[in-house]
Structure 1
């Protein structure tokens, strides 16, 4: 299938999905995003904390890994639907960039705002509790963003059109 044909298919399906955008789809999209972000965030925070890195390099690593795992999970579904790697990457970028960005800004902001969260050792309830709170707040903030995007045929509506 040519890229232009796939683009037209994506627009048609995404527009159709726009009319049916509900909270269920937004929550599902946000949970999908949270999964990739959480894998990357936890890995980055654990590595940075274990190595004694400061806040900035630890957060930078966590953000890079969150985007990597978020995009990888996003690509997985559309690759299974038969898209080639390059097209699957384009779909993942379109579907996940805003969601991951919002989630990363919020969860890292919360981690920085909680006293001693970034300095807590890995075996501390403060570290893990703060991370859990950060993910919960990021989910609550990101779900309406995803609902808004999906309602306009953007974000996860793009990837959803290939999976269904």
Structure 2
């Protein structure tokens, strides 16, 4: 097997390829929605003076909402109803978003002073950017593994 590609057997017995580029694209798609929610949650929680735990919970909740919404937007455009699109989004993005959230929130908490940084400080924005970059790096191989098995973002491709 080529070290740059994973192969899987499709339902008809044919082999399909999952490249690192495909996995990175799926991760970037997921990261986009996740980052919108994460940044919004951190900004709102910080601006309103939430406790650290409240800010993190808000960020995680919004990351899932925006992550799922971004996927659903594309799937609904294919003609699928809301309920069916939600099922596709849940199947496609749950693991990816969960991994991203564990990584980026762990990084934010681990960076000294990051949770106390204010919106006008470079530490707030720098730690947030670093945490999202780390989440992307860690989640890309997870998504590659899932797509190669017909899971995760591969579910969305069945509706394009």
User: In structure 2, what is the equivalent of residue 70 of structure 1?
Assistant: 67
Of 121, 143, 148, which residue of structure 1 is paired with 2:145?
148
In terms of fraction of residues, the more strand-rich structure is 2
Q: How many residues align?
A: 151
Structure-1 separation of matches of 2:112 and 2:140 = 26
User: In structure 2, what is the equivalent of residue 8 of structure 1?
Assistant: none
Of 111, 116, 121, which residue of structure 2 is paired with 1:119?
116
Q: RCO greater where, 1 or 2, for CA within 8 Å and sep 6 or more?
A: 1
Structure-2 separation of matches of 1:135 and 1:12 = 35
Q: Does 1:54 align with 2:51?
A: yes
Q: TM-score scaled by structure 1?
A: 0.88
Structure-1 separation of matches of 2:34 and 2:104 = 10
User: In structure 2, what is the equivalent of residue 79 of structure 1?
Assistant: 76
Q: SS at 1:19's partner residue? A: strand
Q: Does 1:40 align with 2:42?
A: no
Q: How far off is 1:54 after superposition? A: 1.3
Question: Deviations along 1:97-126, whole A, 9 cap, x unmatched?
Answer: 000000000000000000000100100000
Q: TM-score scaled by structure 2?
A: 0.91
Q: SS at 2:158's partner residue? A: helix
Structure-2 separation of matches of 1:115 and 1:19 = 44
Q: SS at 2:50's partner residue? A: coil
Q: How far off is 1:24 after superposition? A: 1.3
Change (3 A) 1:12 1:69: farther
Q: How far off is 1:12 after superposition? A: 4.7
Q: How far off is 1:20 after superposition? A: 1.7
> Structure 2 regions of 5+ residues with no counterpart?
1-9
Of 92, 96, 107, which residue of structure 2 is paired with 1:95?
92
Structure-2 separation of matches of 1:45 and 1:12 = 43
In terms of fraction of residues, the more helix-rich structure is 1
Structural RMSD (CA) = 1.6
Structure-1 separation of matches of 2:111 and 2:25 = 28
User: In structure 2, what is the equivalent of residue 162 of structure 1?
Assistant: 159
